[in-house]
Amino acid sequence: MTEKSPQPTLGWPRLVQGTLIRRYQRFKADVKLRNGRVVTALCPNSGSMKSCSEPGRPVYLSRSDNPKRKLKYTWEMIDMPSSLVGINTHVPNRLVKESIVRDEIKELTGFEQVRSEVKYGENSRIDLLLEGPEERRCYVEIKNCTLIESGIAYFPDAVTARGLKHLIELQNEVRRGNRSVNFFLIQRMDAETFRPADHIDPAYGKELRKAVKNGVEILAYDVHIDLDGITLNRRLPCEL
């Protein structure tokens, strides 16, 4: 495990360690806690989670005291051999938004307002809408990326009709004179470059290349992640 980041952008709630038994039904995971108790945790990730759901690996859960929740625990991270991996897909939007507000993403500075989940296009919501002077607008779609193979980060890890729709919507915004950015947030520390996962979803890779030719920008950043929290780290090259 690498050195701890002194001031994470987002801190974790109190974490409970356990061992992953299995992930199933997409949104559930059975975990054996250190005291021997087995709990079922919410798995906040709809992807296939290839390369980050190996049974027997150490995992970290948060616990909610909300009496209305059926599953009190939420799976936050898994400790894979080369990196901790954040699996909660709610984290990327929060992390990227906070990093933009702090002017920590040089490609996305100079905006006065950052809004989340704004309606646009055909019954869609953009993850972040950045608004600046003279009606400048930048539409930012954020994708959680956890699939690593031989140091290469791939997206998606399963066929994604929703992701394909987002690429089309982003291209439409470019045609309207706005900036559009597809932001790939790699929630781990063992990637050196980013590529579309043509071997998993060739239609997505084809549309991503088309989107770039039509003016959609792509950014891929990894993170520093430890047991204290998570921070945006460095921009990775994108190989299309």
102 pLDDT exceeds 80? yes
pTM to 2 decimals? 0.94
Residue with tokens 């950052």: 114
Let me know: does 226 contact 4? Beta carbons within 8 Å. Answer: yes
* Among 182, 144, 146, CA closest to 166: 182
CA distance 232 to 218: 16
Q: Which domains does the chain have, with CATH numbers?
A: 10-86 (2.40.50.580), 91-235 (3.40.1350.60)
Q: How far apart are the first and last CA of the chain?
A: 31
- pLDDT, residue 3, reads 46
- Mean pLDDT for the stretch of residues 60-76: 95
Q: Tell me the per-residue pLDDT of 150-202, one tens digit each, with 9 for 90 and over.
A: 999 999 999 999 999 999 999 999 999 999 999 999 999 999 999 999 999 99
- pLDDT, residue 8, reads 86
> What are 87's two structure tokens?
């699996």
Q: Tell me the per-residue pLDDT of 211-221, one tens digit each, with 9 for 90 and over.
A: 999 999 999 99
SS3 195: strand
40 pLDDT exceeds 50? yes
Tell me, letter by letter, the H, E, C secondary structure of 10-31. EECCCEEEEEEEEEECCCEEEE
